[in-house]
Amino acid sequence: MAAKKAFNIHDLYPSNYCFDWASFEADPEHYQFTKEDIAYLNAMELEKYEDNTPMTPYERRALRKWVASGHSVMEAPPSKYACVHCCYPPPTFLDVYREDKQLDAALKGMTQAEKAAYLKDYIGFEDETEDERLKREENELLHEQTPQAAREIIRTLQRKIFYLYMFMAEQGFSSEVDEYLEEHMDTPAPFEEEW
């Protein structure tokens, strides 16, 4: 039986690969990265990541397989547990891989009802109280009674607020934003009375 070929990170991209610097420098904003460019970048990222990140042999093998299939080490794979992806910053491959394994072990031997209860507790989900249910139903009724034009304005504002907050969080300002809002939330905005 032939010995299994040892993994070589440089096999992840063509041996004659060379980045097309001339095309890139001619028009960097419109340069289209090729499959080979991406494979090379992913391989170099993997090499650096493996040097700096402690992992088990199983994790290393799974990570290499993920990168060999055309993905970045920072790109999260699908998870059988939806709650794994509900976090910020977004999880990496190893984050999802490890958390899936941890949850598999914790849920082993449980009934479906026990699994559902465990996962709810794991993500801090609490069942709706009677007050919350009444408030939700009141909001649904209010929504139905709000004219369509007003709903569109509200939806647009909610979307703007959401994406502005996400942008600020990505820039590392989420705690400053929260503090600023807490400090100014009771202060009327300019022109507020015109509404």
pLDDT bracket for residue 87 (50, 70, 90): low
pTM value? Answer: 0.59
Q: Which residues fall within 8 angstroms of residue 119, CB to CB, at 6 or more apart?
A: 81, 83, 103, 107, 125
**What digits encode the pLDDT tens for the residues 119-178?**
888 877 788 888 888 888 888 888 788 888 888 888 888 898 888 888 888 888 878 888
Q: What is the pLDDT of residue 116?
A: 87
CA distance 117 to 30: 50
